[in-house]
Amino acid sequence: MVRLSAITPSGPVQLGNYLGAVRRWAVDGGEDDVYFISDLHAMTTSHNPSRLRALAREQLAVLIAAGVDPRSVSVQSDLVRELGALTWVLECTCTYGEAARMVQFKEKSVGRPSVRLSLLTYPVLMAADILLQGAHEVPVGDDQRQHVELARALARRFNGTYGEVFVVPRAVVPPTAARVRDLADPSRKMDKSAKDAAGTVFVLDPPDLVRRKIRRAVTDELAQVRYAPEEQPGVANLLEVLAACTGKEPKDLADGFTTYHELKEATAEAVVEELRPVRERTRQLLDDPAELDRVRAHGAERTRDRCRHRLDAALRLTGL
Ligand code: ADP
C-alpha cells in the first residue's frame, strides 16, 4: 500500500508542518510511501528561482533530519521530465470544465490581475504526481479533497479509454493530528508563507526566537487557562501545541496552569526541546552538501525506477 504526501517549498518548514505532517511521516511512513518536496507546485504563483532552490534543499534536509525514511523522500523536480510527460497525457484526458470547477482555483485566482495558466492546471500535475507513483491513499484536508477526486476520475477515464495502467487513488482523512494556529492570529492556521511571520514558528528558528514568538502569542482577556477552542482559540492553540509535544491531552494540561505566562513558558520550552534535535541534524545536513546530494539522488533514482513502467505504458497506449 502506497501513501503519498507532499510539502510545498513556498517558505521554510513551520511548526504546523512538523507536528501535523512531517513527524507523522517519520513515525508511520514506510519505504513504499512517497513523501516529496513539491517545488513544481511552488511555481504556480510568482516565485524567486534561487529562493525556491534553497527552500527545496532545506525542506529535504528537515524531512531527513526528522527521521522520514530517506528511501521514501524525493524532490518533485527531479522527476520533471516524467511528470511533464504524464501531465500532458492527463491534460488530454481532462476537460477545461473539470479544471475550472476547482474551488481552489476560483479562490486563488479571484481579484488577481494576471493568473498563471499553471494555477488552473496544477491539479492535473497533482494527478500526475499521484498516478505516476501508483499511490493508493492520499491523506488530505478538505481543501485538497476535490483534487484527489479529479485524480480518481482521470485514472478511471484513462484506464477505461486506453487500458488499465493506473491505480485508482483514494483521498483519506489523515489520522487526527495537531492543527496548529497562527500565534498572532489564532483564527488562521499557521502557514509557512504568511506575510507576517510573527505568528509562525519555523523549525529552524533559534531557541530564543521560538521563545519570543510564543511569549507574544495572542491570548484573550479572560485570564483563565481552560481548553475551550471556540471561546479561547489562542489559549487552546498553546495547549494543543504543548499536548502535541508532550503526548498529553490539552484538557488535562489546562488544569496544571493558573496564568497565561506559565502556559507560554511551558509551551515554549516544550517546543524548543521538540525541535532541538531536528534543527541540529538539519544544520549538519546542510553543512554537508555532498551527503544531502547523495540522499537526494538516491531518492530520485528510486522514485523514477518505480514509476517508469507506468509512464511507458501510458505513452504507448495513447499512441506515442
Ligand atoms: P503550508 O500550508 O504551511 O504551506 P503545505 O501545504 O506545504 O503547508 O502542507 C504540508 C503539510 O503540512 C500538509 O500535510 C498539511 O496538512 C500540513 N500542515 C500545514 N499547515 C499546518 C498547520 N498549521 N497545522 C498542522 N498541519 C499543517
At a CB cut-off of 8 Å and minimum separation 6, what does 106 contact?
A: none
Which residue puts its alpha carbon closest to atom 17 of ligand 1? 17
Shared domain check, 310 and 255: no
Structural domain contains residue 127: yes
Total domain count, the chain: 2
pLDDT, residue 259, reads 97
Q: Tell me if 293 is assigned to some domain.
A: yes
Beta carbon of 59 within 6 Å of any ligand 1 atom:
no
Give the chain's end-to-end CA distance (angstroms, integer): 30
27 by Cβ neighbours in 10 Å (0-12 / 13-18 / 19+) ranks as exposed
Mean pLDDT score of the chain: 96
Which atom of ligand 1 is closest in space to residue 38's alpha carbon?
A: 7
Asked whether residue 121 is assigned to any structural domain, the reply reads yes
The verdict on residue 145 lying in a domain is yes
Q: What does the alpha-carbon distance between residue 69 and residue 61 come to, in Å, rounded to a whole number? A: 12
Query: In angstroms, rounded to a whole number, what is the distance separating the alpha carbons of residues 109 and 102?
Result: 11
Distance from the alpha carbon of residue 8 to the mean position of ligand 1, in angstroms: 9
Regarding whether 215 and 161 lie in a shared domain, the answer is no
Q: Are residues 114 and 66 in the same domain?
A: yes
**Given this model, what pLDDT does residue 246 score?**
96
**Spacing, Cα 148 to ligand 1 middle (Å):** 17
Ligand 1 contact via 136 beta carbon (within 6 Å): no
Alpha-carbon distance 167 to 73, whole Å?
A: 20
pLDDT 10s digits, 107-158 = 999 999 999 999 999 999 999 999 999 999 999 988 899 999 999 999 999 9
Residue 4, SS3 per DSSP: strand
Q: Catalytic residues, which ones?
A: 108, 189, 192
Is residue 146 within 6 Å of ligand 1 at its C-beta?
A: no
| Whether residue 313 sits in one domain with residue 276 | no
- CATH code of the domain containing 224: 1.10.240.10
Please check whether residues 49 and 144 belong to one and the same domain.
yes
Co-location of 240 and 126 in the same domain: no
Residue 42 bridge partners (DSSP)? none
Q: How far is the CA of 164 from the centre of ligand 1 (A)?
A: 33
pLDDT at position 139 is: 94
Rounded mean pLDDT, 258-267: 98
Residues 155, 294, single domain; the answer is yes
Residue 21 beta carbon below 6 angstroms from any ligand 1 atom: yes
pLDDT tens digit sequence for 46-59: 899 999 999 999 99
Is 186 part of a structural domain of the chain? Answer: no
243 and 213 in one domain?
Answer: yes
45-63 b/e with 16+ CB inside 10 Å = b? eeeeeeebeebbbbbbbbb
Stretch 209-223: mean pLDDT, rounded? 97
CATH number, domain with residue 97: 3.40.50.620
191 lies in a domain?
A: no
Using alpha carbons, list the distances in angstroms from residue 199 to 49, 185, 188, 205: 26, 7, 10, 12
* Partners of residue 35 on adjacent β-strands: 5, 73
Phi then psi dihedrals of residue 175, to 5 deg: -55, 145
Q: Which of 17, 18, 44, 143 has the most ligand 1 atoms within 8 A of CB, as the residue to mutate?
A: 17
Residue 93 near ligand 1, beta carbon < 6 Å: no
Helices (H), the chain: 15-17, 23-28, 49-65, 80-91, 96-100, 103-109, 117-132, 142-162, 207-215, 233-246, 250-254, 260-286, 289-317
Q: Report ipTM for this prediction.
A: 0.96
Task: For ligand 1, say whether the CB of 130 is within 6 Å of any of its atoms.
Answer: no
CA of 123 to the centre of ligand 1 (A): 17
Range of the domain at 48: 4-173+288-317
Residues 169 and 255 in one domain: no
Q: Are 155 and 138 in contact (CB under 8 A)?
A: no
Q: Are residues 136 and 69 in the same domain?
A: yes
Same domain? For 208 and 86 the reply is no
Residue 93 lies in a domain: yes
What is the side-by-side strand order in the sheet with 34-37? 4-7, 34-37, 73-75
134 and 275 housed in the same domain: no
Atom of ligand 1 nearest to the CA of 7: 7
Quick check: helix, strand or coil at residue 272?
A: helix
Q: In angstroms, what is the span from residue 20 Cα to ligand 1's centroid?
A: 7
Cβ-Cβ contacts under 8 Å for 219 (sequence gap 6 or more): 232, 234, 235, 238, 260
Atom of ligand 1 nearest to the CA of 141: 16
Instruction: Decide if 178 is inside a domain.
Output: no
CA distance 218 to 227: 15
